Amino acid sequence: MSGGFVEVADRVLVLREPLLAVNVTLVLGDGEALLVDTLSTAGQAVELAAAVRAVTGDPLTLVNTHHHFDHCFGNATLAVDPPRPVWAHELAAAALRDDPERLRREAYAELRADHPELADELADVTVLAPTHTVHTEATLDIGGRRVVLRHPGRGHTDADLVVQVPDADVLIVGDLVEQAGPPAFEDSYPLQWPDAVAELLRSATPATVVVPGHGEPVDTEFVRAQHAQLVELAWLIRAGHTGSAPPERVAADAPFPARPALIAARRGYAELDGTA
- For residue 150, the domain's CATH number is 3.60.15.10
Q: Length of the chain in residues, anyone?
A: 276
Quick one: pLDDT at residue 31?
A: 98
Q: Is residue 245 part of a domain?
A: no
Quick one: pLDDT at residue 2?
A: 60
Q: Is residue 107 part of a domain?
A: yes
Amino acid residing at 133: T
Burial environment of residue 70 by CB neighbours within 10 A (0 to 12, 13 to 18, 19 or more):
buried
Whether residue 170 contacts residue 209, with contact meaning beta carbons closer than 8 Å, is answered with yes
Q: Is residue 228 part of a domain?
A: no
Quick one: pLDDT at residue 123?
A: 83
Q: Is residue 53 part of a domain?
A: yes
Torsion sign across C-alpha atoms 137, 92, 199, 85: positive
pLDDT lower than 70: segments of the chain: 1-2
Q: Is residue 272 part of a domain?
A: no
Q: Is residue 265 part of a domain?
A: no
- Percent of the chain whose pLDDT exceeds 70: 99
Quick one: pLDDT at residue 235?
A: 98
Sequence-distant (6+) residues with CB within 8 A of 221 are none
Q: Is residue 118 part of a domain?
A: yes
Distance of alpha carbon 77 from alpha carbon 183, whole angstroms: 28
Strand order in the sheet with 12-16: 6-9, 12-16, 23-28, 33-36, 60-63, 86-89, 132-134
Distance of alpha carbon 120 from alpha carbon 118, whole angstroms: 5
Q: Is residue 135 part of a domain?
A: yes
Quick one: pLDDT at residue 29?
A: 98
Number of structural domains (the chain) is: 1
Angle of the 193-201 helix axis to the 220-242 helix axis, nearest 10? 160
Per-residue pLDDT of 132-147, as tens digits, reads 999 999 999 999 999 9
Structural domain boundaries, residue 206? 6-219
Q: Counting runs of H as helices and runs of E as strands, what totals does the chain give?
A: 10, 12
